[in-house]
């Protein structure tokens, strides 16, 4: 594994779709063991940013680096192998398999044996406090459990960095609070650098050490929670949308 001291960083990243710039000159650093929030109105470029940091979208200009390596042109599976995992807004589980098998196939895909992968999957579900999900068919899972399993699957890669795209969408406040404590534990107990994208700004502010605010493809503010809460630019962006 790569040393936990290195960061995942975007530097001066612009992503253009034809003449339209979804991101303009974005610079952002994800450090190990900390939760970073990414908020902004609809269409601000949040998903494009996650895609760019995970190999799903190459930057038009600018760089993405992992430690000292330039990784901006790596495809998603190589980014994963390099230690960067993500979740998706929609499930993407294998509906015909139970939860344990959904997780175990990830381990097998990484070259581990079936039994090692199952043991790791069970250990992870246990660590997350949901061991009872192991035997549940993926197809019938309640929405919030499906979200948890999506996170568990990403954690099967033992990533140095985990990017969460709207993990609390559709959750009640109580469920979102549970999720918040899980996200904190991922950073604090596993040492993973987390980037959390959420519409639920309260959730982001409750768990993030550092928050980035995107509006119309540009970072309009960044800093700790106090800095975000006292920012006129942030207030304007949200009121104007």
52 binds ligand ADP (CB under 6 A): no
Tell me the window of 16-24, 129-137, 145-153, 232-240 that interacts with ligand ADP (CB under 6 A).
16-24
Chosen residue from 45, 59, 167, 193 binding ligand ADP by CB under 6 A = 45
Tell me the window of 5-13, 35-43, 85-93, 220-228 that interacts with ligand ADP (CB under 6 A).
35-43
47 binds ligand ADP (CB under 6 A): yes
143 binds ligand ADP (CB under 6 A): no
Residue 20, number of CB atoms within 10 A of its CB: 8
State the virtual CA torsion across 155, 7, 226, 43 in degrees, nearest 10.
-70
Task: Kindly state the smallest distance separating residue 46's Cβ from ligand ADP, in Å.
Answer: 3
Residue number, 44 or 156, with CB nearest to ligand ADP? 44
Chosen residue from 26, 34, 44, 71 binding ligand ADP by CB under 6 A = 44
Residue number, 44 or 133, with CB nearest to ligand ADP? 44
Contact 19, 68 (CB under 8 A): no
Residue number, 23 or 103, with CB nearest to ligand ADP? 23
Residue 127, number of CB atoms within 10 A of its CB: 16
What is the arrangement of strands in the sheet containing 20-30, beginning at the earlier edge strand? 20-30, 8-17, 61-66, 69-70
List beta partners, residue 39.
213
Chosen residue from 7, 25, 29, 43 binding ligand ADP by CB under 6 A = 43
Q: Where are the beta strands (DSSP E) in the chain?
A: 8-17, 20-30, 35-39, 61-66, 69-70, 84-86, 161-165, 193-197, 210-215, 218-223
Residue number, 48 or 200, with CB nearest to ligand ADP? 48
Interatomic CA distance for residues 112 and 39, integer angstroms: 37
Residues forming the site for ligand ADP (CB under 6 A): 17, 20, 22, 40, 42-48
């Amino acid at each position: 594994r790569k040393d936990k001291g290195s960061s995942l960083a975007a530097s001066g990243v612009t992503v253009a779709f034809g003449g339209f710039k979804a991101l303009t000159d974005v610079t952002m650093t994800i450090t190990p063991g900390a939760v970073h929030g990414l908020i902004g109105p609809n269409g601000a470029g949040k998903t494009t940013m996650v895609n760019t940091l995970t190999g799903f979208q190459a930057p038009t200009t600018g760089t993405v680096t992992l430690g000292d390596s330039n990784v901006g042109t790596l495809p998603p599976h190589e980014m994963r192998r390099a230690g960067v995992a993500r979740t998706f807004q929609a499930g993407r589980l294998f509906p015909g398999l139970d939860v344990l098998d959904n997780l175990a196939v990830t381990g097998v895909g990484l070259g581990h044996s079936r039994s090692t992968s199952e043991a790791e999957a069970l250990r992870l579900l246990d660590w997350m406090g949901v061991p009872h999900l192991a035997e549940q068919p993926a197809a019938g899972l309640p929405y919030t459990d499906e979200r948890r399993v999506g996170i568990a699957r990403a954690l099967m890669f033992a990533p140095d960095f985990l990017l969460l795209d709207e993990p609390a969408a559709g959750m009640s406040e109580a469920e979102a609070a549970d999720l918040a404590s899980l996200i904190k534990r991922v950073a604090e107990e596993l040492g993973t650098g987390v980037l959390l994208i959420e519409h639920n700004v309260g959730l982001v502010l409750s768990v993030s050490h550092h928050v980035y605010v995107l509006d119309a493809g540009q970072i309009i503010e960044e800093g700790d929670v106090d800095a975000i809460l006292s920012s006129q630019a942030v207030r304007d962006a949200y009121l104007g949308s």
